[in-house]
Structure 1
Amino acid sequence: MTKEIEASTKRRADDAAAPPKLKKTRSTGGSQLDLPFATIEGKPGKVYVFGTGDCAQLGLGEDILSRKKPANLAVLNDKEIVDIAAGGMHNMALTKDGKLYSWGVNDQKTLGRSGDEYEPLPVEGLDDVKVVKVACSDSLTVALTSEGHVYTWGTFRSAEGILGHSKGTEIQDKPTKVHELSNIVDIATGTDHVLALNTAGHVYSWGNGQQMQLGRRIVSRRMLNGLTPESVGVKSMVRVGAGSYHSFAIDKHGKAFAWGLNTYGQCGNENPKTENIPSATPIEVLEEEVFIDLQGGEHHTIGLTKGGKLFGFGRSDSYQLGLGYTETPGSEDSTSHKKAIRHPTLISGLPTVKAISVGGNHTLALTEDGDVFAWGFGEMLACGNGEEEDVQTPLKLTGKQIENSKIIKVAAGGQHSVILAVDN
């Protein structure tokens, strides 16, 4: 490839990653976002799984309870899968025709169907819609359609147990439309909460709000009020993301906002006494960076910039941040019994990254060349390195079954990982 072609290719990639521009409107005399509806992108690939599967997470049958290296989920090879999502203990695969396959734990009906948990089978009740994006929490699944509608099934949980799917339904066994929402273009899930972004750049949240992850205060005696989507109160956002108990939004300038649990600095606030961020707040220490994605794990955060760099902050006792150390050298932070790196820090040693997925305590980073780097908690084999040990710094994913493949999608779950790859 010539230098001129390389430069042209890079410009096109940068343009594609740039936040959408404002659309002027005469009716208001000002400007508002007019974000496009989400669409299915990319060509079909083969699904590979690795990690722990003792709760059916791998989909390889009830006799295969773990895989140290990526293993092909052959039953999906002819389904033309174009995207994947992983939750705490269940997964979704999206076909190019907008249909879903699910497998994993179905205790709270997160699979959206009946039948075998250990094998991928079609989600029921979505025959008349085209799904373009799907997200999985611990016990809930969320699907976004081509027309900007949102469907959910399963339930939310709180610290006290099952919270409910909605005010009138404890557990929703099949996909049901969220009637309070329309014109939605992006979705994200935490452990027990959901974020949705509409075409105007407004963010809505619902689910469990005990850690302020909804961006509004939910009193204990009225916990069910959190099950109804309400505005977070921010404008001009172009993307949403979530950690287990914290939330993110990125505005039209690529600036990062966070709210929710901050006990390890996972919201970008370095003050160890600030345990919660009650409303959407700019991450000031990162104001010079332009972000295209922010995702979190149980108590840590990974941010992806427009230039393909990664920043990590939050809990780090299992090397969740990929920095090679578990607390800032020379720090004497004795306010927490777990190690943390509260200052957002550049993760070095990586090629240009184009996508990330953050599991409970591990991370997958997909590079422009179609390679995957993994790091973090390793006891459950979710990093794919073949060892039951933590991965301290980004390690390239390898395996016999993927040695002639280019990886195009990644999804990190609670104790397992899923990737989508095409043959080179």
Structure 2
Amino acid sequence: MLTQGNTSEDGCGTKDVAMDAKTGLPSDKEIESELLPNGYVTVEELATALKRWDLVDTVLRGLCGSEEAKRSIEPSLWFLGTSKNRPLASKQASPKKRAAEGAGFVAPSLKKSRSSGSSLDLSLVTAPTKPGRVYVFGTGDCAQLGLGEDVLLRKKPANLAVLNDKNIVDIAAGGMHNMALSQEGKLWSWGVNDQRTLGRSGDEYTPMRVEGLDDVKIVKVACSDSLTVALTSDGQVYTWGTFRSAEGILGHSKEKEVQELPTIVQGLKGIVDIATGTDHVLALASTGRIYSWGNGQQMQLGRRIVARRMLNGLTPESIGSKGMIKVGAGSYHSFAVDKNGKAFAWGLNTYGQCGNDDPNKDNIPTMAPIAAMKSYICADIQGGEHHTIALTKDGQLYGFGRSDSHQLGLGYTELPGSEDTTSHKKAIRRPTLIPGLPTIEAISVGGNHTLALSTDGDVYAWGFGEMLACGNGEEEDVETPLKLTGQQIENYRVLKVAAGGQHSVILATPK
């Protein structure tokens, strides 16, 4: 039958399928025993398994009974399944049924589960695999450089040698603390530990192993100002630290003010992506739904939090999204990207950082499409304190929001849509192309600076310069994208970038 659900991002069926000699299509037996071990498969998976998209058209037409019926189906939103006659199912399937049957956007393997013998084996998310060396630069007066108590400043990238033999494959930077993820799925932390953001005791100035995660494999980590979030290989989420509000510590949960060691977030499963703002978290499930929790004073949770019941925001809740494949966050605003590359934003919009150019819209309370980005296919979108950087599928960057410290990398050129909000502040309220960059494959946005990684393995930085987080060795703001250089990274290819509050971290390997 045909059952509505979310699609996989790119499909992953790889099994060669035997074709019926007469029809040129898979036999019923082949479909039921190999293609559809759980009774369904996405159209993309079927196409990949058949290795021919034209056969999918024929199969769809046959299952639907007519060309007209087939045309009523949006293939990327439907699953193919088997029954005796394989009829077209009702489009009014219940949400619970759809959630149970849909594998979500993450590409599942078609092999059978050993435990059930028939369920899909979901590989929810995988970590990067290529290890490199960690380099840091910027201001380290709060231990965020990890180079020891005597090294509080680095103008150029400096190797964090203690991690050289740890097989580090990914990095994350928060306001004043950092995480490094090893090939084995373990975490090392350094920086401010006032609210237990490091997930361990011991020296703050030197990277040390996060405690309490020996029995799980971490595949992604994100850092806020006072909280750390880790995603496991089986789609579970662990957090430690706390959330803060304008009034002070809000709490880690309703039950605990500060969480000293990693603890699992109850009620979440099948999570495939995470993002953190200053004091809020977004988690994307394989169903395409987004869950948010933390401080919601600036509407960054995408759901209403009554002021007198702010603790309610500490419990993850769905914000009603569907079909999303990526989440991102700024300090006080949030983002999502759907399967078609459409970008959405919500939260604080005082400088137009949500892409809404109405100066009277200081907050966007719920998820809203970024209208000015509708012509672009968005691959990633992240924010700083009051600015936003969007990466398109073709490797271009667009900036919008606050720009008084050159956070957008647009220089002093007079641009349509710019405005003087005070005598010394400027904002660009509509997404504007950032010129002078090669093809970009990844971005990381700090409080007021940005790092962009090119497909050639070079890093470009711009924005607030006083804290030396742009790595150019100067304290002046970097007006336009500037290629990162340094003796220690000469002849190195950068693999990952992470921009913090007053510092930056990169992961690099010899060319």
TM range (shorter): over 0.9
1:210 aligns with 2:297: yes
Q: Aligned partners of 2:356, 2:458: CA distance in 1, in Å?
A: 32
Q: CA deviation at 1:327?
A: 6.5
Q: Which amino acid aligns with 1:224?
A: L
Match of 2:79 in 1: 24
Match of 1:343 among 430, 437, 444: 430
1:97 aligns with 2:184: yes
1:182 aligns with 2:253: no
1:406 alignment partner, SS class: strand
1:114 alignment partner, SS class: coil
Match of 1:158 in 2: 245
Q: CA deviation at 1:236?
A: 0.2
Match of 1:48 among 119, 135, 154: 135
Describe the superposition over 1:176-230 as per-residue Cα deviations: whole angstroms up to 9, x where unpaired.
0001100000000000000000001000000000000000111111000000001
Describe the superposition over 1:65-122 as per-residue Cα deviations: whole angstroms up to 9, x where unpaired.
0000000000000000000000000000000000000000000000000000000000
RCO comparison, higher one (Cα < 8 Å, 6+): 1
Identity of aligned residues (%): 75
Q: Aligned partners of 1:77, 1:128: CA distance in 2, in Å?
A: 24
Q: CA deviation at 1:42?
A: 3.1
RMSD: 2.0
1:221 alignment partner, SS class: helix
- Please tell me whether Structure 1 or Structure 2 has the larger radius of gyration of its CA atoms: 2
Q: Aligned partners of 2:417, 2:284: CA distance in 1, in Å?
A: 41
Q: Aligned partners of 1:15, 1:394: CA distance in 2, in Å?
A: 32
What does 1:216-295 correspond to in 2, within 5 Å?
216-295=303-382
Flag structure 2 segments of 5+ consecutive residues without an equivalent.
1-8, 12-43, 46-75, 82-88, 108-123
Kindly tell me: are residues 361 and 326 of structure 1, through their superposed partners in 2, closer, same or farther at Cα, counting changes over 3 Å?
farther
Kindly tell me: are residues 298 and 326 of structure 1, through their superposed partners in 2, closer, same or farther at Cα, counting changes over 3 Å?
farther
1:296 aligns with 2:356: no
Output the TM-score relative to the length of structure 2: 0.77
1:273 alignment partner, SS class: coil
1:76 aligns with 2:159: no
Match of 2:236 among 149, 156, 164: 149
Q: CA deviation at 1:245?
A: 0.1
Match of 2:212 in 1: 125
Q: Aligned partners of 1:25, 1:170: CA distance in 2, in Å?
A: 48
Kindly tell me: are residues 81 and 201 of structure 1, through their superposed partners in 2, closer, same or farther at Cα, counting changes over 3 Å?
same
Q: CA deviation at 1:35?
A: 1.8
Q: Which amino acid aligns with 1:106?
A: N
Q: Which amino acid aligns with 1:120?
A: P
Match of 1:8 in 2: none
Kindly tell me: are residues 332 and 77 of structure 1, through their superposed partners in 2, closer, same or farther at Cα, counting changes over 3 Å?
closer
Q: Which amino acid aligns with 1:84?
A: I
Kindly tell me: are residues 343 and 174 of structure 1, through their superposed partners in 2, closer, same or farther at Cα, counting changes over 3 Å?
same
1:55 alignment partner, SS class: coil
Contact 1:266–1:342 under 8 Å retained in 2: yes
Contact 2:222–2:229 under 8 Å retained in 1: yes
Contact 1:327–1:340 under 8 Å retained in 2: no
Match of 2:105 in 1: 34
1:225 alignment partner, SS class: helix
1:147 alignment partner, SS class: coil
Describe the superposition over 1:340-384 as per-residue Cα deviations: whole angstroms up to 9, x where unpaired.
111110001100000000000000000000000000000000000
Match of 2:20 in 1: none
Between 327-336 and 54-63, the greater mean CA deviation after superposition: 327-336
Q: Which amino acid aligns with 1:152?
A: T
Describe the superposition over 1:136-164 as per-residue Cα deviations: whole angstroms up to 9, x where unpaired.
00000000000000000000000000000
Match of 1:370 in 2: 457
Kindly tell me: are residues 204 and 69 of structure 1, through their superposed partners in 2, closer, same or farther at Cα, counting changes over 3 Å?
same
Q: Which amino acid aligns with 2:127?
A: I
Match of 1:136 in 2: 223
Q: Aligned partners of 2:401, 2:236: CA distance in 1, in Å?
A: 33
Q: Aligned partners of 2:202, 2:247: CA distance in 1, in Å?
A: 29
Q: CA deviation at 1:334?
A: 4.6
Match of 2:396 in 1: 309
Q: CA deviation at 1:338?
A: 2.4
2:411 alignment partner, SS class: coil
Contact 2:404–2:424 under 8 Å retained in 1: no
Q: CA deviation at 1:246?
A: 0.1
Q: Aligned partners of 2:209, 2:417: CA distance in 1, in Å?
A: 53
Q: Aligned partners of 1:367, 1:331: CA distance in 2, in Å?
A: 27
Contact 2:283–2:291 under 8 Å retained in 1: yes
Q: Which amino acid aligns with 2:265?
A: V
Q: Aligned partners of 1:343, 1:123: CA distance in 2, in Å?
A: 41
2:310 alignment partner, SS class: helix
Kindly tell me: are residues 330 and 354 of structure 1, through their superposed partners in 2, closer, same or farther at Cα, counting changes over 3 Å?
closer
Flag structure 1 segments of 5+ consecutive residues without an equivalent.
1-13
1:354 aligns with 2:408: no
Kindly tell me: are residues 234 and 28 of structure 1, through their superposed partners in 2, closer, same or farther at Cα, counting changes over 3 Å?
farther
Q: Aligned partners of 1:334, 1:174: CA distance in 2, in Å?
A: 43
Match of 1:113 in 2: 200
Higher helix fraction: Structure 1 or Structure 2? Answer: 2
Q: CA deviation at 1:339?
A: 1.1
2:311 alignment partner, SS class: helix
